[in-house]
Structure 1
Amino acid sequence: VDSTKLLTIDKQLLEKYDENFSDDVDDNEIYLCFYYQSNKVACSYYDLNKKCLFYSCEIQEDSKFQLTDTIIDDLQPNCIITSPRCDSKFVNFLKQKCKYDLKKLSNTTNFIPEDSLLTNDDQSYELMLKLRENRIQFVLVPSNEFNLDACKERIFKISTLESLPERISEAEKIFFFSSLIDFDSKLTIKSCGGLLKYLSTNRINFELERSIFETPIYQIKKIELKNLLLLDQNAFKSLQIFNDVDYVYAYKQTNFDTLAFRTHLNDKFNNTLYSLFLSRINTKFGIGKLRSFMLKPTRDLKILHQRHKIIDFYLDPRNSELAKLTIKHLKKCKYINPILKRMRLTRCGLNDWKRLYRTTQSFLELCKMKRSLSQYLHNEPIDSSFEVKFDFLVNLFERTIDLKESNEKNEIRVSKNISKDLDTKRLMYSQLPEFLTEIAQREMITYSLNGCKTTYLQLIGFLLIINMEDLNLNNFSLNFSDSFAEFEQKNHLKFVFKSNEKMYYKTPLCIELDQNIGDLATVINDLQSEILDNLQTNFIKYSHLYAQMVDFCAEIDCLLSFVSVAKEFDYTRPEFDFTKKSFISAKSARHPLVELMFDSFTSFIPNDIHSGLSSPKLKVITSP
């Protein structure tokens, strides 16, 4: 095909050929509804082919909405529904996800030959399938339709469930639906209610043969993601992962003080797995990663193997010094996202620069250790370029900012030899006291004064200062009060202001100095600001490296907390056997929290657990 006949695909062209494929392609008939609030998200979707309503319990979502992105990619819905009252960032993320964007397609599908569109060959057929997969409708349902009571009422009105008894009272219906959906999860109820409202309003798959027209829902099930285990609040409490207070703080994305929060948690709420590991976290972003580990447990065996490998690596006595060194550098890492954000808007203060510098130093040292760690981690690899770029930033900072002088004067000071013009102006500014003394002596002779002073004020310039005692009253015929007025008129001085019985004047010599020397302090500030702006630009340029290093360090921090607990309580690594059916076989198993209730580990009696294979899977656990 002649390359000159390549055409860009647009919506009209897609719609033109949409009819040719409508008989051969099954539409993706999934309607997905999200409700997001206070850093938590819940979703529900209706599968039109299965006639089934699926829901998820509310779960913590990160700032990048990775869980939401995973759900959309797994389900591939043809319609996404949400409320305009949800956070604007979340709504915008959904809009971008639904946007018809050819950039998301492979390079081979960005352009297609004109001749290929005119013939329904296999190549164009596959191309149209790829294009259709990227089309998602986005719908905003009015926020009042997500009212909690109204959403509950819509769920109770579902009458097409296969398991719903024919004769059931309203009270029994409440108990029945409570066994299917957790009504304590408000976001879940709102997402289901909003979805049901959309299905009803748009008459999706109505059964016309029924006396009451409604979308048929034969089953209500909980969403199961491929590699993610979704738990509700009751499960977290029953498994002692979180208690009530832990659960609230786990969702709360606030800038609390790490040490104060950890101490507070250990004093009062140390009977959960979350607090057991939290007491050993070293960074604020490590707390966020631990929270994510606990709230969204993974079922990905590859990730679990990687975590076990790095825990084994640090538990090895040969790597104990490396573990201590890693913890040392992690403790110096600060949460710098707010600093980088301020850099994009304005200049940072001295404390911000010091935190950023120390964190960059720590990141550089951790990059040097990463060769033995990154092979075990599932996040983005930290290659050698990171080390080079962080080393560049550290050296650039050290060359640009004089930390010693900055700490002494409690303000940012640019180092010498960065700018010749800046160094010259600074030298002149440092010599001002002697220079002003010379100027004062000249002015005293010029105006026959008993004494005077000269000063320099930023934005005003050089000034002559005279008080009444400095005037030689023998030279004036007027009384005492009019002496200053006569002195100004006689010598053609420009009055500027009066302060503490002192008069401030602009003399011809002061005006000449303003023109020749200029406003030194302002010029110095402008030159220094220009240098600092260039420094900030370099740090902002590599802000994406900081984001990846934060994620890298957060995971290392969490795994080191696991290492600390495993070493202290003598835990062992579980082994996976994929050659047999599902089973559990544990010898001398110990509950990590129950054994902490005993005065000594020797008083706790471990137990063997066998479930599956030759042993029954059903267990009845009793206690005295």
Structure 2
Amino acid sequence: MAFRATPGRTPPGPGPRSGIPSASFPSPQPPMAGPGGIEEEDEEEPAEIHLCVLWSSGYLGIAYYDTSDSTIHFMPDAPDHESLKLLQRVLDEINPQSVVTSAKQDEAMTRFLGKLASEEHREPKGPEIILLPSVDFGPEISKQRLLSGNYSFISDSMTATEKILFLSSIIPFDCVLTVRALGGLLKFLSRRRIGVELEDYDVGVPILGFKKFVLTHLVSIDQDTYSVLQIFKSESHPSVYKVASGLKEGLSLFGILNRCRCKWGQKLLRLWFTRPTRELRELNSRLDVIQFFLMPQNLDMAQMLHRLLSHIKNVPLILKRMKLSHTKVSDWQVLYKTVYSALGLRDACRSLPQSIQLFQDIAQEFSDDLHHIASLIGKVVDFEESLAENRFTVLPNIDPDIDAKKRRLIGLPSFLTEVAQKELENLDSRIPSCSVIYIPLIGFLLSIPRLPFMVEASDFEIEGLDFMRTSCTIVAPGPRSWTRCWETCTARSGTRRPC
């Protein structure tokens, strides 16, 4: 049994700028030759393309204006990875002169734009990066900007309702990012006045139509097709706790074929369904993997890879928590299991036929650095103690300073007891007892019971101590143990008699 995609089986798809235009004008006829010969044509200005792009929550909204035909092309909201590979393909295909986006972006988009900006001074020159205020990309203001625009392909006899219906049949207003990108593009065109720089201010930038843009290597499928063919079908979650926001995949082609063991695999499979490719090389590479795992002798290997993939979690999210110092003990456990599972996946793929591109990529990309990371985590993190104390704990004999501080922390209750005994010797004989409290970021506090003569503020003054406040709750020397008492005052040791 062999699988191979052939050019004859590949369904024809639209070209890079094919789609349904809102309106179009007849192409101008070439000038007729006069009696004296062919008329001299003026040298045409090179066409310019101005791209507007937005990326949010894993989806990409793209729209661009082409001066060669004065048409706006748009791409409906398309899923894209944080590496923004789809956006890079768009840039490679249309080669824009400028890239317009919102000044408010996340880290992934900021890094991508920074890389583009560094190419402006190279040859060939990269696109110009233009940042507009985020308010120019608001959903409502962008929609109103689209509906209120003056377009030459819309008859003046149309009513406002007819104009809205006409534009709604062309522009996917349910794609929020695309609408925002179109609104930002119109704002940019009105500011730059592309093509009408020398005209009067009341002359707007000519827009002769809206067209759907599809990359050459992708197949264009609209939402109606996905719904009718039941490729995706979302249903309300049966749990009462997730009725408001939770959706689950119903009976659909995606749900039947989804056998992924990790969320990253599910996202990639959904990405393949939403962006079907026409590249034979990519299709044949996927078919080679399917053919390999359909063989009965490879069933055990498939099950082992399934088990390894089930332990691979969201590493970027864990690294983000570490960067913000919000790491939990469970995050270290998940990271440790993920790294070791990735090592097992690499070793398994190295034993498989390297003629299959997927196995070769995994064997090469998963380097020995993973083994070094797993070894460091295992030698440093004390998982048993961390789970018992519910905080990150380092194994002994890793750092002498850390070991000394841990011993000091463990001996803190007995140390505070000794301090309290010494303080009691120096206090007034009428004070029967005292307690020493340590509060992080504040320091040591000395708590004594309130005596009958302590009425005015001056009665609380004790030589060598600074009065803080009266309280009915004190902290006992033992860790995390709170004791109730009545009529106590809290003081902090001064410079003359430090704790």
TM-score w.r.t. the length of structure 2 is 0.64
- Stretches of structure 2 that go unaligned for 5 or more consecutive residues are 1-41, 455-461, 475-484
Pair 1:24–1:397, CA change in 2 (3 A): farther
Give the superposition deviation at 1:405: 2.3
1:223, 1:391 → 2: CA distance?
45
Select the residue among 340, 343, 363 that pairs with 2:342.
363
2:394, 2:373 → 1: CA distance?
15
1:235, 1:155 → 2: CA distance?
32
1:101 counterpart letter in structure 2: E
2:297 counterpart letter in structure 1: R
Pair 1:229–1:435, CA change in 2 (3 A): same
Alignment of 1:88-487 (within 5 A): 92=110, 96=114, 99=117, 101=119, 105=122, 130-131=123-124, 133-136=125-128, 138=130, 140=132, 142-143=136-137, 147-152=142-147, 154=149, 157-158=152-153, 185=175, 188=178, 191=181, 195=185, 202=193, 204=195, 215=206, 217=208, 221-243=211-233, 245=234, 270-278=250-258, 280-346=259-325, 348-371=327-350, 372=352, 376-377=356-357, 381-382=361-362, 386-424=366-404, 426-427=406-407, 457=438
Partner of 1:147: helix, strand, or coil?
Answer: helix
For residues 349-385 of structure 1, what are the alpha-carbon distances to aligned partners after superposition, in whole Å with 9 as ceiling and x for unaligned? 2122222222222222222223238764569944567
For residues 365-413 of structure 1, what are the alpha-carbon distances to aligned partners after superposition, in whole Å with 9 as ceiling and x for unaligned? 2222232387645699445674421111111111112212222333322
Pair 1:374–1:340, CA change in 2 (3 A): farther
1:233 counterpart letter in structure 2: Q
Paired residues of 1:227 and 1:299 also in contact (CA < 8 A): yes
Pair 1:339–1:373, CA change in 2 (3 A): farther
1:184, 1:302 → 2: CA distance?
34
Give the superposition deviation at 1:75: 0.5
Select the residue among 53, 56, 61 that pairs with 2:75.
56
Give the superposition deviation at 1:76: 0.6
1:73 has 2:64 as partner: no
Partner of 1:56: helix, strand, or coil?
Answer: strand
2:51 counterpart letter in structure 1: L
For residues 36-93 of structure 1, what are the alpha-carbon distances to aligned partners after superposition, in whole Å with 9 as ceiling and x for unaligned? 56644343444433555543333223333322221121101223445x4875668757
Greater Cα radius of gyration, structure 1 or 2: 1
- Stretches of structure 1 that go unaligned for 5 or more consecutive residues are 1-22, 106-129, 160-165, 250-256, 469-479, 484-490, 515-624
Paired residues of 2:50 and 2:100 also in contact (CA < 8 A): yes
Identity of aligned residues (%): 27
1:284, 1:403 → 2: CA distance?
26
Which structure has the highest helix share of the two? 1
2:194, 2:422 → 1: CA distance?
95
TM-score w.r.t. the length of structure 1 is 0.53
1:186, 1:434 → 2: CA distance?
63
**Which residue is 1:27 aligned to?**
46
2:443, 2:69 → 1: CA distance?
81
For residues 405-458 of structure 1, what are the alpha-carbon distances to aligned partners after superposition, in whole Å with 9 as ceiling and x for unaligned? 222333322111112344355456656778888999999999999x98987846
1:148, 1:85 → 2: CA distance?
20
Give the superposition deviation at 1:265: 6.2
1:433, 1:90 → 2: CA distance?
48
Once superposed, what is the RMSD of the aligned Cα atoms? 5.4
2:380 counterpart letter in structure 1: T
Give the superposition deviation at 1:191: 4.9
Q: How many residues align?
A: 423
2:108, 2:396 → 1: CA distance?
47
Give the superposition deviation at 1:186: 5.8
Paired residues of 2:120 and 2:128 also in contact (CA < 8 A): no
Which structure has the highest strand share of the two? 2
1:98, 1:463 → 2: CA distance?
57
Pair 1:446–1:139, CA change in 2 (3 A): closer
Paired residues of 2:65 and 2:72 also in contact (CA < 8 A): yes
Pair 1:368–1:505, CA change in 2 (3 A): same
